[in-house]
């Protein structure tokens, strides 16, 4: 039984909940529990979409600095790859994912949010990558995912200064996708995730893989990835259901089975 990170499933939506008071500091145990919860959400056929949520007060205020302060170069070199893959584990879930952000999402906390497909923030949110203020850089995917999301210039500004970005600016630069009242963050995330509980799950997975993998390669290779994913869907039941329903009833009426 995980101590700090749980997966709760209701009505086709899985909620990965971070709960290590007071600030959800992401120590090694939390990192590995996040990895395990992401894997559980991946293999559970009842989960059609996933929310990552830190609770009503804070998303996650970063790595456990006290734990890191005791680590040598040799020790960190041995685990840095594990740290990065654990904080990015949500990105490996082949289903729509949304980060529901209240309060602080800093350092590793923001890196977890960046690994989701979509981000909804409360208007009290403060986001940032303050690692340079500690003589470090983001090491959980922040330099890469942030630059891909908001562009290198804005990413460098955030990383170089370590400053906190408030919700309105985060929305303006594309760091988050929607801003709501703090008390409405989780329900807004459920509404977004709920769009996909009856969707063609394999098509969504193929779309996600095509986009994510295509961002890492040149256009020609990306188009080949798209072709392979597109063709693969002709082996699915949902493709048969979707096309038959379209022919008989028009768009948007198919009842998919996720196969």
Residue 60, CB-side half-sphere exposure with 13 Å CA sphere: 33
E runs forming strands in 205-254: none
Q: Is the preceding peptide bond at 255 cis, omega within 30 degrees of 0?
A: no
Active site residues: 111, 131
Strands (E), 81-133: 97-101, 104-106, 118-122, 126-128
DSSP 51: E
- Give me 18's structure tokens: 């971070």
- Three-state SS for 125? coil
Q: How far is CA 171 from CA 104, 120, 150, 243, in A?
A: 15, 9, 11, 37
Q: What is the Cα–Cα distance from 242 to 253, expressed in whole angstroms? A: 8
Q: Which two three-digit tokens encode residue 76?
A: 């960190």
């Amino acid at each position: 039984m995980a101590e700090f990170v749980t997966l709760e499933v209701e009505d086709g939506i899985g909620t990965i909940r971070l709960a290590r008071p007071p600030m959800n500091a992401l120590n090694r145990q939390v990192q590995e529990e996040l990895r395990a919860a992401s894997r559980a959400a991946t293999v559970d056929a009842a989960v059609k979409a996933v929310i990552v949520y830190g609770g009503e007060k804070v998303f996650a205020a970063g790595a456990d600095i006290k734990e890191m302060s005791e680590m040598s170069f040799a020790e960190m070199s041995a685990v840095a790859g594990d740290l990065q893959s654990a904080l990015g584990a949500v990105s490996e879930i082949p289903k729509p994912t949304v980060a529901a952000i209240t309060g602080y999402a800093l350092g590793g906390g923001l890196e977890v949010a960046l690994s989701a497909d979509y981000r909804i923030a409360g208007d009290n949110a403060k986001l940032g990558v303050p690692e340079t203020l500690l003589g470090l850089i983001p090491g959980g995917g922040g330099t890469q995912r942030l630059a891909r999301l908001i562009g290198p210039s804005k990413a460098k500004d955030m990383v170089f200064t370590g400053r906190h970005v408030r919700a309105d600016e985060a929305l303006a630069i594309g760091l988050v996708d929607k801003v709501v009242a703090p008390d409405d963050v989780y329900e807004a995330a459920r509404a977004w995730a709920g769009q996909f509980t009856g969707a063609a799950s394999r098509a969504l997975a193929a779309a996600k893989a095509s986009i994510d993998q295509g961002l890492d390669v040149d256009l020609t290779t990306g188009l080949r990835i798209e072709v392979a994913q597109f063709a693969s869907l002709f082996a699915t039941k949902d493709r048969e259901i979707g096309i038959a329903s379209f022919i008989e009833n028009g768009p948007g009426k198919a009842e998919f089975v996720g196969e």
